[in-house]
Amino acid sequence: MTEQKGEKPVAKVADHASRRNQQLADENRKLRDYVAEVMERLRENERLFGRLFELESRVLASTDPEDLCFTLLRGLRSNFELDMVRFWFDRASFIGGRNMDGISERDLVWLEKGEIERMGLNRQHVWLMSLSDDKGFDWLEERDHHLASMALLVLGDLQRPFGVLALGSVDGDRFQTGKSADFLQHLAQVVGLSLENSVSRERLARLAITDSLTGSHNRRFLQPHSHQPLSKWFGEGVDVCCLYIDADDFKTINDCFGHDAGDDVLSQIAKAISRAARAQDPLIRMGGDEFALLLPGCPLDKSLAIADKIVKACAAIESHDQQITVSAGLALSKAEQDKRVKDLISEADQAMYVAKALGGGRCEVAAPAD
């Protein structure tokens, strides 16, 4: 009787210990699974940020805002498996005047002034949303019907946002509301600052090669090309003409009526030249009242017509009842000659002095080389 009574507590203890061991084993297994899941998330985040830092490096190396946007569009699609990447930019913002013609309408849409604020997106930098037939987004189009979730990254200061970067996915869980947005917050800041800096760099570079008075190029613009053959600048097999234009008796205007009057005359001459020339023809203020106009791919007869138009337009300029005239010299480099840029300009300059010696208000053509 004593042994039987003593066996029951021992069995209960053994059973309790077995259950406890099993419970500990289950807890250990869950803990291992949790640690493995956390480590996998850490590794995925490490890979994610590695791809982001690689993309940031390419963005920082971009040469202009359009190149930067191309880099982001390609990099985000390929590195982060996105089904839609699109920019919406405020046309009235600082980026509105940039040349973005190379980016398709599929990837870049221009917004009217204040549209971002009217949509209420300027309250925070990152918005996550699920999409469905019943719940869409006003800026999306018919071609975007396949998207199931989207992230909107508001670019720039929330007081004055200049654009929105949209990331779309067919996975409805990709950008669910309530998910962590730290990575996207960082991306919004990087993209916004990079675009602002790129536009600033482009503006400074343009100012460095622009004549502040006339808006034409200055001699610094010419320096990288000056000693090179014309083909290095305008391509092989291209005839290039050069017009060299100088105001007649310009010193008299400055001496009699002051430098403000002289500056006004120079501005009007530059405008007259620009109106007669083609949009792609480089106009350089060589200094003082002298301008060089390069005409790539323009035949001699058409270049003469442009010169005649410039001379006549400048003759219509008046300053303090003084009629303004200009002398012009025209020189040609045939494709097979491929002269150096500085030599062609020098030939046009010499022809200009001939025009001036013949009384001014005319254009003379440089004698062709034997």
What is the distance between the alpha carbons of residues 197 and 186, in angstroms, rounded to a whole number?
A: 16
299: pLDDT strictly greater than 50:
yes
pLDDT of residue 238: 94
Range picked from 41-50, 55-64, 144-153 for highest mean pLDDT = 144-153
Cβ atoms of 353 and 347 within 8 Å: the answer is no
* Number of Cα atoms under 13 Å in the Cβ half of residue 3: 0
Alpha-carbon torsion (88, 91, 93, 96), positive or negative:
positive
Q: How far is CA 230 from CA 168, 236, 268, 296, in A?
A: 47, 8, 29, 9
Structure tokens at 297: 């791919």
- At residue 186, the pLDDT reads 85
- The sign of the CA dihedral 210, 215, 217, 220 is negative
Q: Which residues contact 144 (CB under 8 A, 6 or more apart)?
A: 84, 168
Supply the pLDDT for residue 251: 87
Distance from first CA to last CA of the chain, Å, rounded? Answer: 136
Q: Would you say residue 115 has pLDDT above 80?
A: yes
Give the tens place of pLDDT for each residue, 301-357. 999 999 999 999 999 988 888 889 999 999 999 999 999 999 999 999 999 999 999
Whether residue 31 is predicted with pLDDT greater than 90 in this model: the reply is no
Query: Distance between CA atoms of 232 and 225, rounded to whole angstroms?
Result: 8
- pLDDT, the chain, mean: 87
E-only strand ranges, 124-230:
126-130, 149-155, 163-169
Mean predicted confidence (pLDDT) in 276-295: 94
Band the pLDDT of 152: cuts 50, 70, 90: very high
What three-state secondary structure class fits 213? coil
The closest alpha carbon to 95, from 5, 237, 195, belongs to 195
| Structure token digits, residue 330 | 């025209």
214-261: per-residue pLDDT in tens? Answer: 999 999 999 999 999 999 999 999 999 999 999 998 888 888 888 899
Q: Rounded mean pLDDT of 157-165?
A: 94
For range 19-46, the mean pLDDT:
72
What are the tokens at 302? 């058409």
Write the pLDDT tens digit of every residue in 337-351.
999 999 999 999 999
Residue 157, pLDDT score: 92
Strands (E), 315-355: 318-319, 322-323, 326-333
pLDDT of residue 247: 94
Q: Which domains does the chain have, with CATH numbers?
A: 62-208 (3.30.450.40), 219-365 (3.30.70.270)
Residue 197 has pLDDT above 90, yes or no: no
Kindly compute the dihedral angle of the four CA atoms of residues 223, 67, 294, 349, in this order, to the nearest 10 degrees. -10
Amino acid identity of residue 129, one-letter, is M
Residues 66-100: pLDDT tens digits?
888 988 898 888 888 899 999 999 999 989 878 78
Q: Which residues of 110-119 are buried (b: 16+ CB within 10 A; e: fewer)?
A: bbeeebbeeb
